[in-house]
Amino acid sequence: MQPAGIQAHLKGTMDEKVILQHLKGGSREALSLLWQAHSANVLNLAFRMMKDRDEAEDILMDVFVQAPKAVQGFRGESALGTWLYRLTVNACLMKLRAQKRHRELEEEHLDSIIEEALGKGDLKNENFDPELLEKGLAELPAESRSMLWLKDAEDLDVKDLAEIYKMPEGTIKARLSRARHFVKNYLKERKNHA
């Protein structure tokens, strides 16, 4: 198919199988459609993990620069968006390891995670000091915080999280439960000592 034919074929379609086929063939138009459909979500996740807009934008660029090469190993067993989340999480964790910033992650913008992620969970009817809640969330490992955010704020299901984190669904459920339990206990202990 000639380049003009690819563009006409892809224009107006979001059929992931068609886009994937053209991505694997090196189509810039397919990459552009992927960018249009998913760049905002990738940037949002990167920002939440990196807590810095410039770093998040760097991650966004890195993900879409590596996507044409990485797509060759993608089997299409999950949605393209889920696959991009996996690339994003990997890129963020690599950068965090290099910077050794795991414990500092998201301190400046945990307020939104409190409202979005835990607002839907066990803590939504509790009356906790938001500052204390931030401290409890900050105690979680970066992976647990990002998992909570993707599950609750982005409404990803456990199956998608299992694909993103390359873990069994049962492990994802257990980690989410442990993270929520940890934060809830942290808050109750601090509330009782106040």
Residue 63 and residue 138 share a domain: no
pLDDT at 107: 46
8 Å CB contact between 22 and 10: yes
Which residue, of 35, 70, 100, is where some domain finishes?
100
Asked whether the predicted pLDDT for residue 26 surpasses 50, the reply is yes
- The mean pLDDT value of the chain amounts to 79
Nearest to 169, CA basis, from 184, 188, 156: 156
Residue 94 and residue 129 share a domain: no
Under the banding of pLDDT at 50, 70 and 90, the label for residue 66 is very high
Residue 59 and residue 125 share a domain: no
How many domains does the chain divide into? 2
Q: Is residue 80 part of a domain?
A: yes
Stretch (H or E) spanning 128: none
Residue 67 and residue 18 share a domain: yes
Q: How many Cβ atoms sit within 10 Å of the Cβ of residue 101? A: 15
Long-range pairs, 165-173, Cβ under 8 A, ≥24: 165/86, 165/89, 166/86, 172/147
Under the banding of pLDDT at 50, 70 and 90, the label for residue 16 is confident
The pTM of the whole model exceeds 0.85 = no
Q: How many Cβ atoms sit within 10 Å of the Cβ of residue 164? A: 25
CA 30 to chain centre: 22
Residue 170 and residue 122 share a domain: yes
C-alpha torsion sign, points 114, 120, 123, 124: positive
8 Å CB contact between 113 and 137: yes
Nearest to 126, CA basis, from 81, 183, 60: 183
Asked whether the predicted pLDDT for residue 75 surpasses 50, the reply is yes
Residue 129 and residue 167 share a domain: yes
Q: Is residue 5 part of a domain?
A: no
Domain range for residue 158? 102-194
Q: How many Cβ atoms sit within 10 Å of the Cβ of residue 59? A: 26
CATH number at residue 32: 1.10.1740.10
Q: Is residue 4 part of a domain?
A: no
pLDDT digits (tens, 9 = 90+) for 110-158: 445 555 545 555 454 456 677 777 788 778 888 888 888 788 777 889 9
Residue 119 and residue 51 share a domain: no
Under the banding of pLDDT at 50, 70 and 90, the label for residue 170 is very high
Residue 111 and residue 164 share a domain: yes
Q: How many Cβ atoms sit within 10 Å of the Cβ of residue 146? A: 26
pLDDT digits (tens, 9 = 90+) for 29-63: 999 999 999 999 999 999 988 888 999 999 999 99
Residue 55 and residue 81 share a domain: yes
